[in-house]
A and B are shown apart, each in its own frame.
Chain A
Amino acid sequence: MKILVPIKRVIDYNVKIHVKADETGVDLANVKMSLNPFDEIAVEEAVRLKEAGKTSEIIVVSIGSEKAQEQIRTAIAMGADRGILVQTDDPIDLGGIEPLAVAKILKILVEKENPDFVLMGKQSIDDDSNQTGQMLSALLGWAQGTFASAIEVNNKSIIVTREIDGGRETLKLKMPAVITTDLRLNEPRYAKLSDIIKAKKKELEIISINTLDIDCSPRLKIIKVTEPPARQNGIKVSNVDELIDKLKNEAKVLS
Chain B
Amino acid sequence: MSVLVIAEHNNKRLKAVTLNTIGAAKQLDNDIHILVAGSSCNSAVESAAKTENITKVLKINSKELSHVTAENIAPIIADLAKNYTHVLAPASTFGKNILPHAAALLDVQQISDISAIIDNDTFERPVYAGNAIATVKSSDDIKLITVRSIAFEPSSNEGGNAHIENIPSKGKSKLSSFVALRETISDRPELTSAKIIIAGGRGIGSASNFALIEKLANKIGAAVGASRAAVDAGYIPNDCQIGQTGKIVAPDLYIAIGISGAIQHLTGIKDSKIIVAINNDENAPIFQVADYGLVADLFDAVPELENKL
Q: B interface, how many residues as a size bin?
A: 35 or more
B1 proximal to A (CB < 8 A)? no
Q: How far is the CA of A123 from the CA of B91 in the complex (A)?
A: 13
| Chain B residues with CB below 8 A from A128, complex form | 112-113, 126-129, 244
Q: Of all chain A residues, which has the CB nearest B196?
A: A253
Given the known interface contacts A173-B176, A234-B290, the answer about A125 and B128 at a Cβ–Cβ threshold of 8 Å is yes
B13 proximal to A (CB < 8 A)? no
Given the known interface contacts A131-B103, A135-B100, the answer about A222 and B134 at a Cβ–Cβ threshold of 8 Å is yes
Are A220's CB and B109's CB within 8 A?
yes
Given the known interface contacts A146-B97, A167-B183, A167-B239, the answer about A172 and B177 at a Cβ–Cβ threshold of 8 Å is yes
Given the known interface contacts A171-B178, A183-B238, A219-B140, the answer about A228 and B69 at a Cβ–Cβ threshold of 8 Å is no
Are A237's CB and B133's CB within 8 A?
no
Chain B positions 87-104 with a Cβ under 8 Å from a chain A Cβ? 92-94, 96-104
Chain B positions 248-303 with a Cβ under 8 Å from a chain A Cβ? 252-253, 263-264, 270, 273-276, 287-296, 301
Are B181's CB and A135's CB within 8 A?
no
A144 proximal to B (CB < 8 A)? yes
A63 proximal to B (CB < 8 A)? no
A254 proximal to B (CB < 8 A)? yes
Are B270's CB and A149's CB within 8 A?
no
Q: A interface, how many residues as a size bin?
A: 35 or more
Q: Of all chain B residues, which has the CB nearest A133?
A: B100
Given contacts A167-B182, A239-B294, A240-B304, 19 further A-B contacts (CB under 8 A): A19-B132, A93-B128, A125-B129, A125-B244, A127-B128, A127-B134, A128-B128, A129-B100, A134-B96, A138-B74, A143-B175, A159-B179, A165-B192, A168-B182, A184-B231, A220-B111, A228-B130, A234-B292, A238-B294
Can you list 30 residue pairs at the A/B interface with Cβ under 8 Å? A17-B132, A19-B132, A125-B244, A134-B70, A134-B98, A135-B103, A138-B101, A144-B70, A144-B176, A165-B93, A166-B184, A171-B178, A171-B179, A172-B179, A182-B238, A183-B228, A183-B241, A222-B134, A222-B136, A225-B127, A225-B134, A227-B133, A234-B287, A234-B291, A236-B295, A237-B294, A239-B294, A240-B296, A240-B305, A253-B196
B contact set with A: CB distance below 8 Å: 67, 69-71, 74, 92-94, 96-105, 107-113, 122, 126-140, 174-184, 190, 192, 196, 220, 228, 231-232, 238-239, 241, 244-245, 247, 252-253, 263-264, 270, 273-276, 287-296, 301, 304-305, 308-309
A contact set with B: CB distance below 8 Å: 11, 13, 16-17, 19, 26, 38, 93-94, 98-100, 103, 123, 125-132, 134-139, 141-147, 149, 159, 162-174, 177, 182-184, 187, 218-228, 231-241, 243-244, 246-247, 251, 253-254
